[in-house]
């Protein structure tokens, strides 16, 4: 990634040409995003005070949205401000602890005229996948801020299906163990309770996001052309 260590900035130009903006090129963002058929995507990993200042000064990110960036574990949501929209969503990550099935990565997405900003606090399979496709074929991935937001949300949702398959396999395995033993002991109850906690965590995370990738697509696209 070709900017500061925690920033990547890509620009789709008319005709599908891709431009990578380095640390000395960020002053071009205003000019690029103001032109028709230009799309700037700024990705920030683990934002620091300088990053927050950049979002405030160059993109006029709303103070409440900046406050959300400083308070982790936000609830999944869509907030609409006068000139931009902000989405909080979550993606599935490989678990850091062996007794867990998954971890969740928090993503904050901002969309305004001619630009998208993604902010995260961890290596992101979702962002990496969409960025790879965007670099290879910008026109095929996104021509508008709304379509890029949709591509990111779609990739994040796709990551849940393998997790659900793994949980389903674990449930079937536990059912077989219980039927074979014809009783439930501490060795069986522990994984059942652990799975229950994980499913409750998934429910708390996913319930606020229900319908967001599809229902808000047209609204986001029309508001950020």
**Residue 72 covered by a domain:** yes
Residue 29 in domain: yes
The C-alpha atoms of residue 99 and residue 141 are separated, in whole angstroms, by 36
Q: Encode pLDDT of 147-206 as tens digits.
A: 999 999 999 999 888 888 888 888 888 777 777 776 666 667 777 788 788 888 887 887
Asked, for residue 194, whether it belongs to a domain, the answer is no
Specify if 138 maps to a domain: yes
Decide if pLDDT at 211 tops 70: no
In a domain, 181, yes or no: no
Provide the terminal-to-terminal Cα distance of the chain, rounded to the nearest Å: 26
Q: How far is CA 14 from the centre of its chain?
A: 26
Query: What confidence tier does 16 reach under pLDDT thresholds 50, 70, 90?
Result: very high
pLDDT over 70 for what percent of the chain? 88
Average pLDDT over all residues of the chain:
86
Q: Would the pLDDT of 224 be above 60?
A: no
Asked if residue 55 is part of any domain, the answer here is: yes
Between CA 115 and CA 33 the distance in angstroms is 6
- Residue 209, pLDDT score: 73
Indicate which CATH number applies to the domain containing 129: 3.30.460.20
Report how many domains make up the chain.
Answer: 1
Q: What is the pTM of this model?
A: 0.84
Does 170 reside within a domain? no
Question: What is the span of the domain harbouring residue 11?
Answer: 7-160+203-223
- Find the range with the poorest average confidence among 17-21, 53-57, 147-151, 175-179: 175-179
DSSP state of 62: -
Asked if residue 186 is part of any domain, the answer here is no
């Amino acid at each position: 990634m070709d900017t500061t260590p925690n920033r990547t900035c890509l620009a789709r130009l008319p005709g599908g040409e891709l431009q990578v903006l380095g640390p000395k090129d960020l002053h071009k963002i205003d000019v690029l995003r103001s032109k028709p058929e230009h799309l700037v995507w700024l990705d920030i990993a683990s934002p620091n005070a300088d990053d927050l200042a950049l979002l405030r000064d160059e993109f006029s990110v709303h103070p409440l949205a900046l406050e959300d960036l400083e308070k982790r574990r936000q609830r999944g949501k869509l907030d609409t401000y006068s000139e931009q929209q902000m989405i909080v969503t979550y993606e599935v990550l490989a678990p850091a602890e062996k007794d867990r099935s998954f971890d969740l990565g928090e993503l904050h997405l901002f969309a305004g005229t001619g630009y998208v900003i993604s902010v995260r606090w961890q290596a992101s399979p979702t962002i990496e996948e969409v960025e790879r496709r965007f670099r290879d074929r910008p026109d095929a991935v996104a021509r508008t801020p709304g379509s890029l937001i949709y591509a990111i949300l779609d990739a994040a949702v796709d990551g849940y299906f393998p997790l659900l398959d793994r949980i389903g396999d674990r449930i079937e395995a536990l059912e077989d163990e219980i039927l074979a033993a014809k009783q439930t002991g501490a060795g069986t109850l522990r994984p059942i309770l652990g799975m229950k906690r994980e499913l409750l965590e998934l429910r708390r995370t996913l319930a606020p996001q229900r319908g967001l990738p599809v229902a808000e697509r047209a609204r986001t696209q029309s508001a950020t052309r």
